[in-house]
Amino acid sequence: MTNLQQLERIYKAVANNKRLYILTFIKKSHSATVSDISHAIKLKKQPTSRHLQILENAGFLVRRRRGVFVTYRLSTALNESQKKVISTL
């Protein structure tokens, strides 16, 4: 993937209010389940999961499965563009 394609993926991922709310929530709480996030942003679990997948594919989030629960947290491998986005939240 080229740098331009990577930038496009990053900026498309954050060009949505719900995804920005998700990033803000996870930044404040450090990690959260789909249920926690869907409740916080007032969205059903299925669309919340889709937003989380987009953010994960863009490199903002990592997920960890613990039994039946999946928790999401900010990636520790953020590039400079991603760090700038997160720092503005």
Count of Cβ atoms closer than 10 Å to residue 82 Cβ = 20
Confidence band (pLDDT; 50, 70, 90) for 3?
confident
pLDDT at residue 13 in the model: 95
- What pLDDT, in 10s, does the model give residues 21-67? 999 999 999 999 999 999 999 999 999 999 999 999 999 999 999 88
Which residue type occupies 73? Answer: R
Backbone angles phi, psi at 52, to 5 degrees: -65, -40
Confidence band (pLDDT; 50, 70, 90) for 17?
very high
Angle value at C-alpha 34, between 61 and 10, nearest 5 degrees:
30
Domains of the chain from N-terminus onward? 3-82 (1.10.10.10)
pLDDT > 90? residue 77: yes
Local structure of residue 1 (DSSP, 8 states): -
Contact 70, 63 (CB under 8 A): yes
